[in-house]
Structure 1
Amino acid sequence: MDVLKSLGHPEEIFNLVKFKMGGCRAVMPKLDYESMSESLRTCYLYLNQTSRSFAAVIQALDGELRHAVCIFYLVLRALDTVEDDMTIPLDKKVPMLNDFHTYLYQDDWSFTESQEKDRQVLEDFPTISLEFRNLAQEYRDVISDICHRMGVGMAEFLEKKVGSMKEWDQYCHYVAGLVGIGLSQLFSASQLEDPEVGRDTELANSMGLFLQKTNIIRDYLEDTQEGRTFWPQEAWSQFAGRVEDLAQPEKLESALSCLNLLVTDALRHVPDVIAYLSRLRNQSVFNFCAIPQVMAIATLSTCYNNPMVFQGVVKIRKGQAVTLMMEATSMRAVQTIIAQYSQEILQKVSLTDPSRDKTLHILALIQEKSTPLPSSLPSRTHHLSPMYLSAAMLLAALSWQYLSTTAAQAQGTGDMQGQ
């Protein structure tokens, strides 16, 4: 199925096959679980069970930073599970969110009443908090501080909707910008990155906001169907009486105008993303940070002016995701990818779109900041005749069927952890 979706993109088929045959090890080396304590192994088990997006890149980080980021992720996953659980009454949930950072230093605190799919991180929180307390002090201080600030912010937004664009920034700061800030401080604490990476909270915040806004934009239909609204009222109220109305077929033009306004707002963060990534020196940290960002701009490009956002699930192809993972390992390559997707969005900008001028302005700025060199990502298809291309794709598709079977037997757990 993945190969069929990539048929018009031979380089994706090439990378899917390469990834299956072990190319994933370049960005995701295998961990030595044997040398870990049982509780730490359990933490990595929970990481793989609860994260499709980040498990692989977290496990590829160097040295002790890997464990610190794994525990950071699980602590925030537990906090997020409390926030998401609609079965917990507000009078119980608000104090839990505000006090959650204190549970890190309580040996036996756990919560067994959650109905959420990731509830095991709450039910077995003592294992996570034990490994938290095993971390060096500088890591513990960062994780506890971010957990505290995030819990307070989540509690604040439980009782109010995202109204203005400014509040959208504030909400995204609480749930994702703080993650970017915390991670940056962990990078610096590990001494794999310069202290300036941890100090520049504005750039780190932008990294989180770009990812979070992309997810919110993409997940419009799923969220509204489940009774959640994260699109800011200041945006959607210009085009509809209720945010749910944007999904009505007769509202399509208004819906696309609202969608494009929000994509344009998310793109504001890309120059900061480029500035942040250009500071990084450690390869594992760079991969960890760059891969989600290029996935996000690819997702935004797919969402822009796309009616499917209001009708179904919008996802980038697995072949596209694998290609991005394997390519986004240098600043030059990342700039090229960003330039390519911003150019793709530019080609979709309508003459009548209300946000047109703002969109063109930010895309011009992104193009200026990305300034890629033509040699960064050579196309493999320019010199292939259509007949050769068809034969090559057929061969790749047949090879894929064979390799899927043999690779699964040979590698076991070698598959990518989702997208």
Structure 2
Amino acid sequence: MKRGSSVTKHSSYIETINDDEYCYAVSSIFVEAFAKLFHISGEEMLFPDTLTTPFGLFLQQGDVIRDFWLDINETPKSLIFWPDEIWSKYANNLKDLTYEENSENAIRCLNEMVTNALAYVGDCVEFLSRFRNPSTFRFFAILQVVTFGDLALCYNNIQVFRTGIKTSEGLMAKVFVQTKTMEDVYGALYDFSSILRSKVDMNDPNAETTISRIEAVQKLCRDSGTLIKWKSYIIQSQSSHNQALVTLFFFDIVHFHNPLRTGIPQSTTEHNWFNILRNKIIDSYIEHY
């Protein structure tokens, strides 16, 4: 894996899915740094890169899929974070996928992007299962669940190329409030994977791979033995007096970690932005909880 090389040379163009350069630079570094911070504090074990890297890649791939519309319409120049290896199968220019006449190819490209991200879910679950501190676990678990929910929402959804996609604030608030244990993670992943499975079109060229990866996620959840106790927050809504607060806080931590959307210079990606993020999260957590 070429970590960061392409980002340095051309920060808004990614060539192959094997390099994952952009995703590693802005998210895996974030995960690795936080994991080391918690280890130094004595709260957690030292996580291997084989777990922190896939977790970070999953988070950021979900982000660039969901935010395609924002990135492609960035001024003065579009930000292109979808790898050429995928989108070039479906268009000569990535922005061509936003045109109505290219809708079929746009959907196929989108579905392949989501399918590619699903390959990381097993490692993400293993990463979460090793946490010892409940608060630290919750921090990462919420990011995992919301990213998976974003993928389920985006899959086979042409609005990714038309107006952009946004997970409802109510659902994100419920995820924040109800994600406390690994059992909650398994339940949420099973819910979202079921939604994703229902959207798969067998005429899609990657349908078999998509279904295989969804079924692997669902098997992982079933094998946990915890689903019998799970009450779906997608089907059964539960009110919370704290929804406004947790939704605001959640948007803050999810979107703040992307330096390209916060005005943080790209050159500080591996240094200053991490300290800013760390302090922002800690301050918010102390203030509200």
TM over 0.5: yes
- Residue of 336, 351, 364 corresponding to 2:202: 351
* CA RMSD, Structure 1 to Structure 2 (Å): 2.8
CA contact (8 A) 2:6 2:13 kept: no
1:161 is the counterpart of 2:10: no
Larger radius of gyration, structure 1 or 2? 1
TM-score (norm 1): 0.54
Alignment match, 2:53: 205
The within-5 A match list for 1:292-303 is 292-303=143-154
Alignment match, 2:28: 177
Instruction: Name the CA distance, whole Å, in 1 between partners of 2:234 and 2:61.
Output: 33
Can you list the C-alpha shifts for 1:11-68, whole angstroms capped at 9, x where unaligned?
Answer: xxxxxxxxxxxxxxxxxxxxxxxxxxxxxxxxxxxxxxxxxxxxxxxxxxxxxxxxxx
Can you list the C-alpha shifts for 1:264-309, whole angstroms capped at 9, x where unaligned?
Answer: 0111111111100010110110111111111111111110000110
Can you list the C-alpha shifts for 1:189-213, whole angstroms capped at 9, x where unaligned?
Answer: 1111123x2xx11111111111100
Task: Point out the more displaced range, 328-337 or 219-228.
Answer: 219-228
Shift of 1:415: 7.0
Alignment match, 1:417: 249
Distance change in 2, residues 1:204/1:377 (3 Å): same
Alignment match, 1:63: none
Distance change in 2, residues 1:252/1:381 (3 Å): closer
- Residue of 220, 228, 231 corresponding to 1:369: 220
- Residue of 321, 329, 332 corresponding to 2:183: 332
CA contact (8 A) 1:291 1:324 kept: yes
Instruction: Name the CA distance, whole Å, in 1 between partners of 2:235 and 2:154.
Output: 26
Aligned residue identity for 2:249: Q
Alignment match, 1:273: 124
CA contact (8 A) 2:197 2:214 kept: yes
Instruction: Name the CA distance, whole Å, in 2 between partners of 1:241 and 1:380.
Output: 38
Can you list the C-alpha shifts for 1:237-271, whole angstroms capped at 9, x where unaligned?
Answer: 11111100000001111000000000001111111
CA contact (8 A) 1:180 1:204 kept: yes
CA contact (8 A) 2:193 2:214 kept: yes
Report percent identity of matched pairs.
Answer: 30
Distance change in 2, residues 1:414/1:335 (3 Å): closer
CA contact (8 A) 1:303 1:314 kept: yes
The within-5 A match list for 1:31-42 is none
Shift of 1:332: 0.5
Can you list the C-alpha shifts for 1:299-348, whole angstroms capped at 9, x where unaligned?
Answer: 11110000110011211111100100011100011111001101110110
1:222 is the counterpart of 2:70: yes
Gaps of at least 5 residues in structure 1 are 1-148, 383-388
Distance change in 2, residues 1:305/1:417 (3 Å): same
Aligned residue identity for 1:236: W
CA contact (8 A) 1:157 1:171 kept: no
Alignment match, 2:84: 233
CA contact (8 A) 2:202 2:208 kept: no
Distance change in 2, residues 1:378/1:219 (3 Å): closer
Instruction: Name the CA distance, whole Å, in 2 between partners of 1:280 and 1:150.
Output: 26
Alignment match, 1:258: 109
Instruction: Name the CA distance, whole Å, in 2 between partners of 1:415 and 1:161.
Output: 32
CA contact (8 A) 1:154 1:175 kept: no
CA contact (8 A) 1:218 1:314 kept: yes
For the residue of structure 2 that corresponds to 1:253, the secondary structure is helix
Distance change in 2, residues 1:316/1:380 (3 Å): closer
